[in-house]
Structures are given as C-alpha cells and as structure tokens.
C-alpha cells in the first residue's frame, strides 16, 4: 500500500475522485510551506521551491490504483510523483504528491494553497 496526498481533481467531490473508489481515506493534511499552487483551469498544479502550504487529503492506495493515478497525472512527464512531508497530526506524515512539470507562464497563483477555496471564490 502507498500513501498519496491529493490536492485537486482527486479530492472528495471533485471529478476524478472516482479513481480513489477503493482507496482508504487517511485524513486531511497540509504540506510544509515549500510549494506554489497554480490554477491550470480544470485542475491545479503544485510546483516545488515555493512558500505555500497546500491543503489536501491523504489516501492509502493499492498498486493498481497507483498505476491509474500515474496515468491520470501523466507521471513522470506532466506531473512527477514525489515524496513530501505533511502536517496531519503531531507526528509527521509522508506521502506522494504529484508535482507539475510544465510551463506555468499563463497560470494564476493560488496563494491560499487550497484548491476548493480558490474555486469557490472564483464563482
């Protein structure tokens, strides 16, 4: 089993959450403030070397589910799966996060690090 941190279209209530149908929900978490989150239209993209903490959910997934997630995210070309330290409780958690690898020239920053909140404000 592998832990995965999701922060966009894979969140509960979002269009791609169905891919996590067999996954075990661990809980809510935030990354350390080491990323920048950007609005890419229908989904967000996180990039390393920023100062934003990203809000998301942790799931424990099996091998076939991880393969489906890798295909969805275009790993390793569009997004790259990387290990990240999360703030979920008093103890640090570690999980994979998909980090965006393409150009962000036309993407808007999401300073809050929270995709859902950002989408609500944009309505």
Quick: pLDDT tens for 77-100. 999 999 998 987 666 678 899 999
| Residue from 14, 57, 60, 73 carrying the catalytic annotation | 73
Architecture of domain 2-122: Roll (3.10)
Domain spans of the chain? 2-122
Rounded CA separation 39/106 (Å): 9
Look at residue 55 in the predicted model and tell me its pLDDT.
96
Residue 73: its H or E element: helix 63-73
**Per-residue pLDDT reduced to its tens digit, 9-68:** 999 999 999 999 989 999 999 999 999 999 999 999 999 989 999 999 999 999 999 999
Coil, strand, or helix at residue 67?
helix
Helix (H, G, I), strand (E, B) or coil at 12: coil
Whether 73 is catalytic is yes
User: Whole-angstrom Cα distance, residue 60 to residue 78?
Assistant: 22
Q: What are phi and psi of 80, to 5 degrees?
A: -120, 130
pTM across the whole model: 0.92
């Amino acid at each position: 089993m592998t832990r995965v941190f999701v922060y966009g279209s894979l969140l509960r209530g979002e269009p791609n959450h169905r891919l996590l149908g067999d996954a075990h929900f661990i809980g809510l978490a935030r990354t350390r403030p080491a990323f920048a989150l950007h609005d890419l239209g229908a989904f967000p993209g996180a990039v390393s070397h920023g100062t934003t903490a990203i809000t998301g959910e942790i799931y424990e997934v099996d091998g076939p589910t991880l393969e489906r997630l890798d295909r969805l995210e275009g790993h390793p070309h569009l997004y790259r799966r990387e290990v990240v330290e999360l703030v979920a409780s008093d103890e640090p958690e570690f999980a994979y996060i998909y980090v965006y690898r393409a150009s962000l020239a036309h993407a808007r920053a999401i300073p809050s690090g929270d995709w859902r909140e950002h989408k609500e404000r944009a309505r």
